[in-house]
Amino acid sequence: MNTIKIFLFSLCLVPTLLNAKTYYCKDSGSTELDMFGTEKENKASTRPYHWIVDTNRGWKRSDVVAYSGSCGIDNGYTVCRADTAYGEAIFSIHPDDSNFILIYLDYGIDLLAFVGSCDKT
């Protein structure tokens, strides 16, 4: 009986694992928008950020250990969302799998947006 349960569980899990896509993304530009209209210096990053998107595990910046959020397909776009008590983030990859936009919204402070390119594995 246990063998049958393991077999049925494997049948359900394997297609999900086979559909997983991994993207390696690098930003080429970013901006910060202040929600309250106060002036902030817009400093260009001296090094690009890198993100890893795993459609089964979520997404993360390459220097962070844990994945966050969840991913799905919305109108052909790969969209990953992460919510926290203090804000939210949306990572969206174009249907051609080559470009992305990442928006961090901090409730009460500001919005950060990154754009760049991705490679799919």
Identify the bridge partners of residue 48 per DSSP, sorted by sequence position.
none
pLDDT tens-digit series, residues 54-106: 999 999 999 988 898 999 999 999 999 988 777 899 999 999 999 999 998 88
What are the residue ranges of helices labelled H in the chain?
2-18
Q: Does 11 score more than 70 pLDDT?
A: no
pLDDT tens-digit series, residues 42-65: 554 567 889 999 999 999 999 988
Asked if residues 74 and 38 have their Cβ atoms less than 8 Å apart, the reply is no
Strand runs labelled E in 35-75: 50-54, 58-61, 70-74
